[in-house]
Amino acid sequence: MESQQTAVPKLYIGIDIHKRSWKVHCATDLFSGKSFSMSPDPEQLRTYVSRHFPDYEVATAYEAGCCGYYAHRCFESYGWRSLVVNPADIHRKGKEKHTKTDKIDSQLIARELKDGRLESILVPDSKREELRSLFRRRNDLVKDFRRIKSYIKMQLLYFGIKEPEEFDNDHWSHKYREWLDDMVFKHPTAKSALESRMRFFRFVDQELRDVSTQLRRYCKVHYKKDYLLLRSIPGIGGIVACGILCELGDLRRFNNVKQLAGYVGLAPSVHQSGDHQRTMGMTPRANRLLRSYFVEASWQAIRADPVMQAYYRKHQGKNVKRIIVKVARKLLSRTLAVIKTEVPYTIGVVA
């Protein structure tokens, strides 16, 4: 009697992606397979699979990183199932935690994929991904802006120059900038250094303003409904609203605030053994940029919303950092509720 194949053979590909090369491990549903290196080209991998594994059902996985989602989109266009996974989600056995190579990483990814233990992160569409790049560019400019201000302050401190009392604050008014421009040093070299820093300061300042304007304008036009809903919440300004739309995408995909808090990183890290349980602070797994934005927005919410202010005063006397995290969590809950119900927030109404 002639035997017939009744199940579709399956191929599992784990890839450790780098800029100049990929380390690939191919495993089938019957065999562990082999590892090899190749150039970073999805089309070349497709050719290899077509030659050696025709008529196989293909699944691929690789770690999220600097190479983005281009390979993922190519794999899906081939009809393959593709996952982009968080590196922390790849389980390592005891000895595997102490040995790390590209070959081992690709083998672990293929193994976890074959066993069905991997879940993909959310891959944004290209429109939102490119918008996210503009938001992150603004964040880089903010870092540059703070850094150049610190350099200028350091130069004044180094030469023993005391600022007038009216200028001793974080706000750099036009008068303060003019005072810096008119500063006279004993030798021209120090003046040249300050002038160079002031030129860079003004360049970064203008770039930051321009990028912020472009970001707000784009979100108002293309995500107008959600943008206006977010802006109705006290504490959430234009830039924070843009950050939520860029980094979180559509909030409606979250079932509850617990899921959203876990994604942002405003959830507690808990350690329990037997009857002993203790909180380890905020979870280290977080979108750190967005978490910091929510914490900063919470300070504004306390000033603008009496409900938030009453919530803050209720916990007064405790650790200030812990209190503001509680407020941030409440602000996060409020954000999800506004988007889900599509009803603008009304100040003074308990949410």
Q: What is the pLDDT confidence band of residue 92, given thresholds at 50, 70 and 90?
A: confident
Residue 283 has pLDDT above 50, yes or no: yes
Residue 5 has pLDDT above 60, yes or no: no
Q: What is the pLDDT confidence band of residue 273, given thresholds at 50, 70 and 90?
A: low
Residue 176, CA atoms < 13 Å, CB-side half-sphere: 15
Q: Work out the widest C-alpha separation in the chain, in whole angstroms.
A: 101
The tokens describing 162, both together, are: 């005391």
User: CA angle at residue 288 from 285 to 229, to 5 degrees?
Assistant: 115
Residue 76 has pLDDT above 80, yes or no: yes
In the prediction, which pLDDT does 275 show? Answer: 67
Q: Alpha helix locations (H) across the chain?
A: 42-52, 70-77, 102-115, 126-158, 174-181, 188-222, 224-231, 238-248, 257-264, 288-304, 306-314, 320-341
Domain 10-115 has CATH 3.30.420.40: yes
Least confident of 69-83, 121-135, 171-185, 275-289: 275-289
**Rounded Cα gap, residues 61 and 81, in angstroms:** 9
Residue 4 has pLDDT above 60, yes or no: no
- Residue ranges of the chain that CATH labels 3.30.420.40: 10-115
Collapsing DSSP to helix, strand or coil, 256 comes out as coil
Q: What is the pLDDT confidence band of residue 1, given thresholds at 50, 70 and 90?
A: very low
**Rounded Cα gap, residues 126 and 129, in angstroms:** 5
What DSSP string runs through 181-215? Answer: HT---SSHHHHHHHHHHHHHHHHHHHHHHHHHHHH
Helix axes 42-52 and 70-77, enclosed angle (nearest 10): 40
**Rounded Cα gap, residues 97 and 100, in angstroms:** 7
Kindly report the pTM of this predicted structure.
0.86
Q: Which residue has the higher pLDDT, 223 or 280?
A: 223
Average pLDDT over all residues of the chain: 90
pLDDT in tens, 294-320: 999 999 999 999 999 988 888 877 788
**Rounded Cα gap, residues 200 and 202, in angstroms:** 5
The tokens describing 52, both together, are: 């050696």
Residue 269 has pLDDT above 80, yes or no: no
